[in-house]
Structure 1
């Protein structure tokens, strides 16, 4: 019992140290955007406590920004449900692609499902722990770190929001820049660039066909269909490298 406990603590420390560097790009974006959310929420009359609670229990990024307007206008329950479904329906596809990685997570699985944001999903797609690091704890700490960054940013923003105000127009571009950084990192580390190219082509085609406001869902459907159809061919190089 006593010998097992230090071994487990050592395992947790190794996973924590391995996960943190992976989340640094997300930390920069989440602290900034979380602060913007906290400031915006405070400007509508909701203090930093509300920002903390929303970031802990909702933790939906873009949906939290939308929720600020819904709270301010007194939207109905059904409207909130439909809006949340429209904004976050892409997470259904994220979850499907994570079924394999989440299969053996045990008690950590519900939290991993809850905390699967865009950025966490991007990191988990390519992140692989070092040989001496527990895979499940490595994934868990990536997700946990990311949410902690968002909570801290939103609380700080809520606290600062009552002291001063500024024009937040264009502040959401930081999220776009964060996605570019993550994409470039994945491109450099991935053995095959085919999935990334499929995603780019599907997004561009759907953007031209459906417009900027409606292209995300059809683009995701197209990616899932194409990657599912050609999954066997995409997996073959990895199987050959393993042997």
Structure 2
């Protein structure tokens, strides 16, 4: 798919990190970009800086997502590109022990459901609604109506201690990739997933000042290059997945060849 001013795109989690970098890369190619994010202040600031449209959206809320797509489509037309970057986690072991009392503390089911709701269900919700809109478009000369990029994590394959909910959520995103691609193939819509490794996003970037030794240790754990990945490298792979018409149903690791240890 050629990315230019004729293409409308939606990026969830677009106010910062991987989403912001992807939105910026799409804008650099002329695409009309809408940012979905819960953070209104940062989202409006990012949109102004990039020349994008901000839509205050909680991907865990059906009505909020519907309103976001309605606003984006009213301004830009039906999107041909969706990049799902919204996500997050709540850490904790399946069961832990209180360090003072030795009491067994189970991981809360509510927290498990919240993590799956944000990552897996949120991604699926936006994918379904975007694909339904894409299906109404006229196909390109190559027969394409749209391209969707989802965001998993290397935790989908090597979840660490304390990542039971996050690993499950990201593994589900990886698992549904080929099924989404097959389900949507008759409509000319491609679906691929990126599994990022340790990325230098705002979530980890603060370690540079708060705990530089931890940050440097993370960088040294990557075989090559010995550093954290950048949001721009994620965006570059997302653009490849959008532009390469034969890339479909794939999950691609972006991790410097790291394989995560148990902790």
TM-score by length of 2: 0.28
- Normalized per residue, the structure richer in helix is 1
Largest Rg, 1 or 2? 1
Compare relative contact order (CA 8 Å, sep 6+) and give the higher one, 1 or 2: 1
- Normalized per residue, the structure richer in strand is 2
